[in-house]
Amino acid sequence: MAWQTESIMARKGVAKGVRGKSHTITEAEQGKYHYVYGPYFDKVLTVDPGAVVAAETHDAFEGAIKSETDVPSKILNFPFLNPQNGPIWVNGAEKGDTLAVYIESIVPRGPQPRGTTVVMPEFGGLVGTGNTALLNPPLPERVKKLEITAEHGTKWNDKITLPYEPFIGTIGTSPEIEAISSLVPDYYGGNMDLPDVGVGAIIYLPVNTAGALLYLGDCHAAQGDGELCGVAIEHPTVTTVQIDLIKGWPIHWPRLETKDFIMTIGSARPMEDAARIAYRELCRWMAADYGFDEIDAYMLLTQAGRVRLGNMVDPKYTLGASIKKSFLV
Amino acid sequence: MAWQTESIMARKGVAKGVRGKSHTITEAEQGKYHYVYGPYFDKVLTVDPGAVVAAETHDAFEGAIKSETDVPSKILNFPFLNPQNGPIWVNGAEKGDTLAVYIESIVPRGPQPRGTTVVMPEFGGLVGTGNTALLNPPLPERVKKLEITAEHGTKWNDKITLPYEPFIGTIGTSPEIEAISSLVPDYYGGNMDLPDVGVGAIIYLPVNTAGALLYLGDCHAAQGDGELCGVAIEHPTVTTVQIDLIKGWPIHWPRLETKDFIMTIGSARPMEDAARIAYRELCRWMAADYGFDEIDAYMLLTQAGRVRLGNMVDPKYTLGASIKKSFLV
Amino acid sequence: MAWQTESIMARKGVAKGVRGKSHTITEAEQGKYHYVYGPYFDKVLTVDPGAVVAAETHDAFEGAIKSETDVPSKILNFPFLNPQNGPIWVNGAEKGDTLAVYIESIVPRGPQPRGTTVVMPEFGGLVGTGNTALLNPPLPERVKKLEITAEHGTKWNDKITLPYEPFIGTIGTSPEIEAISSLVPDYYGGNMDLPDVGVGAIIYLPVNTAGALLYLGDCHAAQGDGELCGVAIEHPTVTTVQIDLIKGWPIHWPRLETKDFIMTIGSARPMEDAARIAYRELCRWMAADYGFDEIDAYMLLTQAGRVRLGNMVDPKYTLGASIKKSFLV
Amino acid sequence: MAWQTESIMARKGVAKGVRGKSHTITEAEQGKYHYVYGPYFDKVLTVDPGAVVAAETHDAFEGAIKSETDVPSKILNFPFLNPQNGPIWVNGAEKGDTLAVYIESIVPRGPQPRGTTVVMPEFGGLVGTGNTALLNPPLPERVKKLEITAEHGTKWNDKITLPYEPFIGTIGTSPEIEAISSLVPDYYGGNMDLPDVGVGAIIYLPVNTAGALLYLGDCHAAQGDGELCGVAIEHPTVTTVQIDLIKGWPIHWPRLETKDFIMTIGSARPMEDAARIAYRELCRWMAADYGFDEIDAYMLLTQAGRVRLGNMVDPKYTLGASIKKSFLV
C-alpha cells in the first residue's frame, strides 16, 4: 500500500486504513452460499474495521459447468445462480455509514480448466432476453472451458491469450429490508461486473443496515466493457480484501478510488440512466469534497470525465464515471 | 358472478371458481404491515382455494399524510412505504402453479378526507428522479387531501369530481428467495398500478414458492394512465378477493381476465421492454390456449391489440396488452 | 360538423372552420410521391385556409406487395417507402403558426384484395431490428393480403373480421431545413401511426416554414395499439381533409381534438420519453388555455389522463396523452 | 504515416492511401455553411480519391458566443446550429461504396479566447430536455470562454489545464434522400462527438449517394466521455483530412481504425441500442474480415471489447466499440 496511505479509506476510516486481523472464509466455513443480498441470513463472519478477509469464491455457476458439451440451460437452476460469500458483519457499522473495501489480491483456484464462459438462451447483450422479450429464435448454446493462471492469463485459443486482469464481479452490502438477487446491481453494489473493481482499488459501499453485511463473489479473470454475451471468464478464486468503516461520510451509490482517479458507479435501465446516476453522484462528490461549484463540476466533467461500461446484460446496466485526481486541485 | 362462471378461474381452478370460506384481515389481525414481497415473514392467514378474504388495506403512506400542510419528504421514511397485507398462505400452492384472484369489491374506509395525492421530490413521471438523476431543482412539494365515497367518487375541487373507479395498486405473490420492495412491480405482480386490476376482474399470478404467499394493498380511488405524478388517489379500503389455485397452467407474468378481454402484464424499463414483455406473453398465450400460430397471433395483435399504461413512475414501468375475447375464436 | 363548430379550429382558424374550396390530388396530379418530409420539393397544390382536399393515397408499399407469395425484403427498396401526397402549400402560413386539419373521410380504393400486412426482417416490435441490433436469427417473412370494404371492414380470416376504423398513419408539415424520412414521426407529425388520427378528428400541426407544406399518406384500415409487427392493414384510399390555419397559437408538438377529448402527441425513444413529451405538452396546454396551475394539471392528469400507444416500431415511438373535455372546466 | 501504410484505407482504397492533390475550403470558399447533412446543396469542392482538404471550420455556435456575459438561449437560433463545411463531392463515389477519411491535423484558429462551452436550458446529460421532457425548473445558463493553443491546451482556470486533444465532432456523408440536422448522429456519421475521431485516426463512412457528399465541422479541443453538459470545448480550426474511396467494402455504420484497434460506431436511443449497434457491427466485421465465427467474435468481445461513450446529449447517443488489432490474429 503506497498511495493507499493517502486514500479516503486511510484518511476517514475507523482503522485509518491499517491492516487488522486476518480471517478466512473457506468453502467449508461458508457452508451454504447465498443467491440474494439481504438481511435475512446468519452472518458467516464478524470482523472489526481493518480486518483482512480471504474468501474462497465460487464461479458464477458454482462449478456446475464442467465441460464444453454441457448445456447451460439444462444445468443452471434459476434463481440459484451467482453464489456469494458472506454476509460479513462489520462491528460498529450502522445505516448511513460507508464501508471501504480495499481489494488486496485475487488468486485463481481449483482444477484446470478453471475458466468458463457460455452463450445461453435469453441472456446477453446481443440477443432477445426475458426483459427485451422478442419472438426471434435463440442462438445455439455454447460453452467454452479455459485454462487460467495468474502468471499466463487465460488461454483463449492457440493464438489468443488474455492477460489475467481479475476483478470482483459482485460485491456489496445488504439492503435494509430487501433481499435482492445476486444477479442484480444497484445502489448497494451487487452484480456490477465493472472491471475497475480490481486488485489495488478501493470500493466504497453505503451501509444500509446494522453490521453492513458485506457479500462478495463472482470473480472474473478478464472481461470486456459491457460483458457482452453476459458471461465473463468466470472462475473460482481466493479473494482477499481489507475492510474499513467510515463514519460521517454517507454515500448513495458505490464509489471507487484508485491511485489515479475517483469514480462513481450507477446501475439502471435504460443505460443513459446509469450514466446519469454515475455522473450526478460525481458532480455532487466534487462539490461536497473538492470545492467545486456543482455546475462547474458539471462543466469540467463534460471536458474531462471518463466512463467505463461495466455490464449491458444484467437486470440493471452498470457504468462508472470517473475523473483524474490531478484535476481535483 | 356471471361471465366468471366461464372464466379460466372457473374452468381450471381447484375450487372451480366457487366461493369458499370467508376470512378477514383486519388491521389488528394484520398487525405489522409489510414493505417487501418475500418469503421471510410469518403468514397472516392460511386459506384453501375458493376462500374469500376481506382485507383492511392502508393507503400507500400508511395514513401518515393527514393534512395539506404536511411535507411528504419530512414525513415519509423510505423504504417503509406502501404497506401490504399478507402474506396469505394458499393451501396446496406450489412453485409452477398459478394463483387466480377475483376482485370482488373495494370499499373506502376511514375518516374523511380519506384520499391523498402528493407531489414530492425525486419522484414522478415529469421530474428528475433517483433513477433519471438530474441536476435541475425540484418542483415544490404539494399535498392534496380529498373526500371520497363509493357513491359520489372523489371530489377534486368545486368543479371536478372523479368517478369512484377503485383498483388494487399492488398485488402479487412472493418471489422464491428474493424480498422485493412493495414499490416495485415485476413478474410476480407487485406495484403494477394498473387500473384494470379493478372490481370484477380476475388476476392470475405465478406461484414461485410453497403457499404462494399472496400480498396486496395500495388501493386507488381513481388513476389516470401512467400515474403521472407518481401518486394516485391513495385511500384505505376494505378489499375483498376470492382466491383460487390453478394446477398445470404455469405463467411467467401476471395475466388478467374480464368479461370482454384477456390481458398480459409486463413491467420493465425502458417502457418499450414492458410492452415487449406484455405482447410476447400475449402471443404465446394465444398460441398455447387459443389455437393461433405464434406469428398469426403477432400479426393479429398488430391490428387488434390494446395497450393500457399502468405506471410510468415506479422502479419498473407497467403496461398491459390485451385482446378482445371476441377475436379468440 | 357538429361539435366541430365549437372546436379550436372553428374558434381560432383564419377560415373559422368553414369549408372552403374543394381540391383533388389524384395519382396523376401528384405524379411523384415523396419519401421525406422537407422543404426541397415543388408544391403539388396551393390552397387557402378552409380548403378541402381529397387525396389519392397509396399504401405504405406503393402497391408493390401484390400477393401472399411476395417476399417483402426482395421487393421493398429502402428508403423509397411510405409514399406521401404533397406538399400542399397553405397560403398565409408562416413559421410559428399552427395548421388545423379536420379529417373528413377516408374511403378505400383500388382492386381487391386491397389490404396488406407483412412480417419482414429487422422490423417490428417483437424482433431485433436495425436499432435494437441483435444476433438472433430473423422470423420467417410472411405476407397477408386482405379484402377491405368500408361497409364490412377487413376480412382477416373465416372467423375474424376487423371493423373498418381507418386513420391517417402519416401526416405532418415540413421541417424548416430538414428533410426527414416519411418513416419517422417527430414534432412536425410524420409517421405517428396513431389510430386517433381518424375520421372526425382534428389534428393540429406546428408550421415550421412558409406555406406549412402539408404531406399525408399511409392510411390504415385498422390498427392495434403499438402497430406491433410494424405493419398495420395498409391500403390505398381517397382521404379528404379540411385545412385551416391558426395564427397566434404556436404549438411544439402535434395536438388532436375530438368531440370528447384533447390530446397531445409525443414521439421519441425510449418510449417513456414519448410519454413525457406528450404529458408535458398537455400540462402546458391545460395551463395556457384552460386556467390550470401547471402543477394542478400535473396532479389531475395523474388521476384522469389517458394514454394511447400509437407505434412501438417506427424510428421514434409515438404516444398520445389526452384528457376529457369534461374535466377542462 | 507509418501504420497507415498497412491500414484498410491503404490496402483497399482507390488511391491506395497515397496523398493526392491538396485543396482548401476557407471561410470565403465555403460561403454559406450548412446545418443539415443532405443531398440538396451545391457541392463546395470536387476531389479525387487521395485528395487532401484543409477546411476552416467554425465552432458549433458559428462564433456567436463571444463573452461570458452572453446568454446562449437569446443568441442561438435553432435549427441554425453546428455549421458544417461541405459538401465535398468525391469523384467515383457511388451508393454502396465506403469513404475513408484520414484525419491529418487539427489546428486551432481565430482570436483568443477561442474556446467556448456553455450550460443552456433544455440541453445536456443531467437536465430535462426537449426529449426527456420534464417540469423541473432549468439550471441557470452559464458561458465559459477559454484560451486554447495547440501547445498548451485549454486553460480551464488557474489550476486546471486540459491537454489539447482535438477531434472532429461532426463528420459524415449525405443520406440518399434525407437532409438531417447536423446536431444528429446516425448511420452516415454526423454529430457523433466521439473523441476517437481525432488526429491520426481513419474514419470509414458509408456512401449513400453519388459523390458521397462529405461534410465536417464542430471540432473540439477536448471532451470527456459523454459530452456531459452537451457542449465540449468548441473552437474554430483548420482541419486537414485525406480522403480515399473504397469499392466493394460496403459498411452500414461508421468504422474507425487506429494503429492499435478497430472500432465500430453506433448512434441510437436508448443508449443500450447504440451499444448493440456498435457491437453487432463489430461482431460482423470480425466475422467477415478476420476469420471469426460470429458467435466466437461475440464471446471474445465479451472478454476483450472496449467501449467509448461519445455523447449522451445529442438526439441520438453515440458509442464506439473496439477491439485491439493484436487480438485479430
Task: Using CA coordinates, name the residue in chain D closest to C252.
Answer: D130
Contacts of D181 in chain C (CB under 8 A): 177-178
Residues of chain A falling short of pLDDT 50: none
Nearest Cα residue to A205 out of A214, A196, A217: A214
DSSP bridge pairs for D306: D322
**B309 interfaces chain C, CB cutoff of 8 Å:** yes
Contact B108, B221 (CB under 8 A): yes
- Interface test with chain A among C131, C135, C317, by most A beta carbons within 10 Å: C135
- Could you report the per-residue pLDDT of D28-69, keeping only the tens digit for each? 999 999 999 999 999 999 999 999 999 999 999 999 999 999
Q: Which residues contact residue B172 at a Cβ distance below 8 angstroms, ignoring those fewer than 6 apart?
A: B37, B185, B186, B188, B189, B190, B192, B205, B214, B215, B216, B254
Contact D133, B127 (CB under 8 A): no
CB pair distance less than 8 Å for A299 and D270:
no
- Radius of gyration from C-alpha coordinates of chain D: 19
Which residue in the block uniquely carries the three cell numbers 406503393?
C62
Chain-centroid distance of CA C163 in Å reads 19
Query: How far apart, in whole angstroms, are the C-alpha atoms of residue B127 and residue B119?
Result: 10
CB pair distance less than 8 Å for D133 and C36:
no
Contact C246, C97 (CB under 8 A): yes
Nearest to D139 among B127, B133, B136 (CB): B136
In chain B, alpha helices (H): 8-12, 27-30, 72-75, 271-289, 294-304
Q: Tally helices (H) and strands (E) across chain D.
A: 5, 21
pLDDT at B236: 98
Task: Using CA coordinates, name the residue in chain B closest to D133.
Answer: B126
DSSP bridge pairs for A89: A46
Q: H/E/C letters for each residue in C188-241? A: CEECCCCCCCECCCEEEEECCCCCCCEEEEEEECCCCCECCCCCCCECCEEEEE
The pLDDT-based confidence of B1 (bands split at 50, 70, 90) is low
Is the pLDDT confidence value at C329 over 90?
Answer: no
pLDDT at B47: 98
Nearest to B232 among C233, C303, C306 (CB): C303
Task: Using CA coordinates, name the residue in chain D closest to C208.
Answer: D79
CB pair distance less than 8 Å for B268 and A131:
yes
Helix (H, G, I), strand (E, B) or coil at B92: coil
- Could you report the per-residue pLDDT of D247-304, keeping only the tens digit for each? 999 999 999 999 999 999 999 999 999 999 999 999 999 999 999 999 999 999 999 9
Q: Which of residues 1-40 of C touch D (CB under 8 A)?
A: 35-36, 38, 40
Contacts of C84 in chain D (CB under 8 A): none
Chain-centroid distance of CA D251 in Å reads 17
**A288 interfaces chain C, CB cutoff of 8 Å:** no
Nearest Cα residue to C203 out of C1, C2, C8, C3: C8
Query: How far apart, in whole angstroms, are the C-alpha atoms of residue C316 and residue C165?
Result: 23
CB pair distance less than 8 Å for B133 and A277:
yes
- Could you report the per-residue pLDDT of C257-277, keeping only the tens digit for each? 999 999 999 999 999 999 999
Task: Using CA coordinates, name the residue in chain A closest to D328.
Answer: A160
**A305 interfaces chain D, CB cutoff of 8 Å:** yes
Contact C80, C34 (CB under 8 A): no
Query: How far apart, in whole angstroms, are the C-alpha atoms of residue B87 and residue B212?
Result: 9
Section D210-238 average pLDDT: 98
Q: Which residues contact residue B266 at a Cβ distance below 8 angstroms, ignoring those fewer than 6 apart?
A: A133, B253, B273, B274, B275, B276, B277, B278, B279, B281, B318, B319, B320, B321
pLDDT at C31: 98
Contact B62, B84 (CB under 8 A): no
Query: How far apart, in whole angstroms, are the C-alpha atoms of residue C270 and residue C274?
Result: 7
Which residue in the block uniquely carries the three cell numbers 448512434?
D267
Contact B206, B33 (CB under 8 A): no
Cis-peptide, bond into residue C79, ω within 30° of zero: yes
DSSP bridge pairs for C144: C117
Section C232-236 average pLDDT: 98
Which residue in the block uniquely carries the three cell numbers 432477445?
A128
- Could you report the per-residue pLDDT of B68-85, keeping only the tens digit for each? 999 999 999 999 999 999
Could you tell me whether strands A153-155 and A161-162 are parallel, antiparallel, or unpaired per DSSP bridges? antiparallel
pLDDT at C1: 53
The H or E element containing residue A72 is helix A72-75
Cβ atoms within 10 Å of D35's Cβ, excluding its own: 22
Task: Using CA coordinates, name the residue in chain B closest to C325.
Answer: B160
Read off φ and ψ for residue C130, nearest 5 degrees: -65, -25
Q: Which residues contact residue D215 at a Cβ distance below 8 angstroms, ignoring those fewer than 6 apart?
A: D34, D37, D84, D85, D86, D87, D88, D170, D171, D172, D173, D174, D182
pLDDT at A1: 54
**A231 interfaces chain D, CB cutoff of 8 Å:** yes
**D156 interfaces chain A, CB cutoff of 8 Å:** yes
**C179 interfaces chain D, CB cutoff of 8 Å:** yes
Query: How far apart, in whole angstroms, are the C-alpha atoms of residue D244 and residue B77?
Result: 63
Contacts of B122 in chain D (CB under 8 A): none
Give the ipTM: 0.98
**C110 interfaces chain A, CB cutoff of 8 Å:** no
Q: For residue D210, what is the DSSP state?
A: T
Maximal CA-CA distance, chain C = 57
- Tell me the percentage of chain C whose pLDDT exceeds 90: 99
User: What angle is formed at CA A94 by the lines to CA A90 and CA A98, rounded to 5 degrees?
Assistant: 75
Nearest Cα residue to A30 out of A41, A19, A20, A22: A41
The pLDDT-based confidence of D1 (bands split at 50, 70, 90) is low
CB pair distance less than 8 Å for B137 and D137:
yes
Q: H/E/C letters for each residue in C277-318? A: HHHHHHHHHHHHHCCCCHHHHHHHHHHHCEEEEEECCCCCEE
CB pair distance less than 8 Å for C298 and B156:
no
pLDDT at D17: 85
Nearest to D307 among A298, A309, A327 (CB): A309
Nearest Cα residue to C246 out of C17, C3, C2, C4: C17
The pLDDT-based confidence of D329 (bands split at 50, 70, 90) is confident
CB pair distance less than 8 Å for D277 and C130:
yes
Residues found in chain A: 329
CA distances (Å), A33 to each of A51, A60, A85, A218, B89, in order?
21, 11, 6, 12, 27
pLDDT at D76: 96
- Interface test with chain A among D145, D302, D324, D325, by most A beta carbons within 10 Å: D302
Contacts of D305 in chain A (CB under 8 A): 224-226, 228
- Could you report the per-residue pLDDT of D64-104, keeping only the tens digit for each? 999 999 999 999 999 999 999 999 999 999 999 999 999 99
- Radius of gyration from C-alpha coordinates of chain C: 19
CB pair distance less than 8 Å for B307 and C144:
no
Query: How far apart, in whole angstroms, are the C-alpha atoms of residue D282 and residue D76?
Result: 38
**C76 interfaces chain B, CB cutoff of 8 Å:** no
pLDDT at A329: 87
**A195 interfaces chain D, CB cutoff of 8 Å:** no
Q: Which residues contact residue D259 at a Cβ distance below 8 angstroms, ignoring those fewer than 6 apart?
A: D2, D3, D200, D325
| Number of CB pairs, chain C paired with chain D, less than 8 A apart | 88
Instruction: Please name each of the domains of chain D with its CATH number.
Output: 3-250 (2.60.120.580), 261-327 (3.10.28.20)
Contacts of C295 in chain D (CB under 8 A): 135
Section B298-327 average pLDDT: 98
Is the pLDDT confidence value at D9 over 60?
Answer: yes
- Could you report the per-residue pLDDT of B164-211, keeping only the tens digit for each? 999 999 999 999 999 999 999 999 999 999 999 999 999 999 999 999
Maximal CA-CA distance, chain B = 57
Task: Using CA coordinates, name the residue in chain A closest to B317.
Answer: A269
Residue type (1 letter), A184:
V
Go through A262-297 and write b for each residue having 16 or more CB atoms within 10 A of its CB, e for each that does not: bbbbbbbbbbbbbbbbbbbbbbbbbbeeeebebbbb
Could you tell me whether strands D22-25 and D52-57 are parallel, antiparallel, or unpaired per DSSP bridges? parallel
Query: How far apart, in whole angstroms, are the C-alpha atoms of residue B284 and residue B192?
Result: 21
**C284 interfaces chain B, CB cutoff of 8 Å:** no
Residue type (1 letter), C203:
I
How many C-alpha atoms does C235 have within 13 Å on its Cβ side? 31
Residue type (1 letter), C86:
G
pLDDT at B196: 98
- Over chain C, what is the mean pLDDT? 97
Query: How far apart, in whole angstroms, are the C-alpha atoms of residue C274 and residue B187?
Result: 25
| Number of CB pairs, chain A paired with chain C, less than 8 A apart | 32
CB pair distance less than 8 Å for C303 and B327:
no
Nearest to D135 among B132, B135, B139 (CB): B139
Residue type (1 letter), A57:
T
Section C206-228 average pLDDT: 98
Which residue in the block uniquely carries the three cell numbers 481466493?
A238
**A183 interfaces chain D, CB cutoff of 8 Å:** no
- Radius of gyration from C-alpha coordinates of chain A: 19
**Hey, what's the cell of A243?**
475492510
CB pair distance less than 8 Å for D268 and C131:
yes
Q: Tally helices (H) and strands (E) across chain C.
A: 5, 21
**Hey, what's the cell of D97?**
461504396
pLDDT at A314: 98
The pLDDT-based confidence of D129 (bands split at 50, 70, 90) is very high
The pLDDT-based confidence of C3 (bands split at 50, 70, 90) is very high
Chain-centroid distance of CA B231 in Å reads 14
Cα-Cα-Cα-Cα torsion B26, B30, B34, B40, nearest 10 degrees, comes to -150
- Could you report the per-residue pLDDT of D139-182, keeping only the tens digit for each? 999 999 999 999 999 999 999 999 999 999 999 999 999 999 99
pLDDT at B166: 98
Could you tell me whether strands C317-324 and C261-268 are parallel, antiparallel, or unpaired per DSSP bridges? antiparallel
